[in-house]
């Protein structure tokens, strides 16, 4: 619920934002590309899968917690970018970030079930890692959603730079720790 007297997000939301940002960076920029380069029979593939899956599930849980907290805490009013189209785009982009993050977690879990990755990575099953993960529809969806999410994150960062450099409105302070009310 928005409150015109609130200037910053709740500290728990701030912490979740930055923890999730780090986790998503690790998953999209480091983990995914690194795993794709490893051969299926490379022993590091399972170790990498274990880390990627664990961080992905943690991000999913944090996303659910963040959504719940956002509904239960007072938040600042929507930022003004100085143009109606930019304001509308920002609202849609934030919704898109949540939808795509949930889609990544969902498609990752679906892929893990389809390819028996939970048993391979965590259950000690003596099964090989599938040679071609793209044979699984959830893997294809995971890749497409990942590219869309990365593009939207870059747009989000462009919006942050717009506010910092051009508008100089100190908008980023809203997503940091400090006094919350005017």
Instruction: Give residue 152's pLDDT.
Output: 98
Instruction: Answer whether CATH 2.60.40 is correct for domain 11-175.
Output: no
Specify which residues 75 forms β-bridges with: 2
Q: What pLDDT tens digit does each residue of the chain (182 aa) get?
A: 899 999 999 999 999 999 999 999 999 988 888 998 999 999 899 999 999 999 999 999 999 999 999 999 999 999 999 999 999 999 999 999 999 999 999 999 999 999 999 999 999 888 899 999 999 999 999 999 999 999 999 999 999 999 999 999 999 999 999 999 87
Instruction: Give residue 28's pLDDT.
Output: 94
First to last CA, the chain: 17
Instruction: Give residue 182's pLDDT.
Output: 79
Instruction: Give residue 98's pLDDT.
Output: 98
Backbone angles phi, psi at 38, to 5 degrees: -80, 140
Instruction: Give residue 47's pLDDT.
Output: 92
Instruction: Give residue 168's pLDDT.
Output: 94
């Amino acid at each position: 619920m928005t409150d015109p007297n609130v200037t910053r997000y709740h500290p728990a939301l701030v912490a979740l934002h930055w923890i999730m940002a780090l986790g998503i960076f690790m998953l999209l920029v480091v983990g995914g590309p690194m795993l794709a380069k490893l051969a299926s029979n490379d022993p590091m593939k399972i170790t990498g899968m274990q880390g990627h899956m664990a961080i992905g599930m943690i991000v999913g849980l944090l996303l659910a917690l963040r959504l719940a907290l956002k509904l239960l805490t007072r938040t600042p009013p929507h930022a003004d970018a100085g143009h109606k189209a930019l304001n509308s785009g920002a609202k849609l982009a934030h919704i898109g970030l949540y939808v795509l993050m949930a889609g990544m977690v969902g498609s990752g879990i679906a892929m893990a079930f389809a390819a028996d990755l939970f048993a391979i990575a965590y259950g000690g099953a003596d099964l090989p890692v599938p040679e071609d993960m793209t044979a699984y529809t959830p893997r294809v969806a995971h890749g497409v959603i990942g590219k869309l999410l990365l593009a939207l994150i870059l747009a989000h960062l462009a919006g942050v730079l717009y506010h910092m450099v051009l508008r100089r409105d100190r908008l980023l302070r809203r997503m940091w720790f400090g006094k919350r009310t005017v």
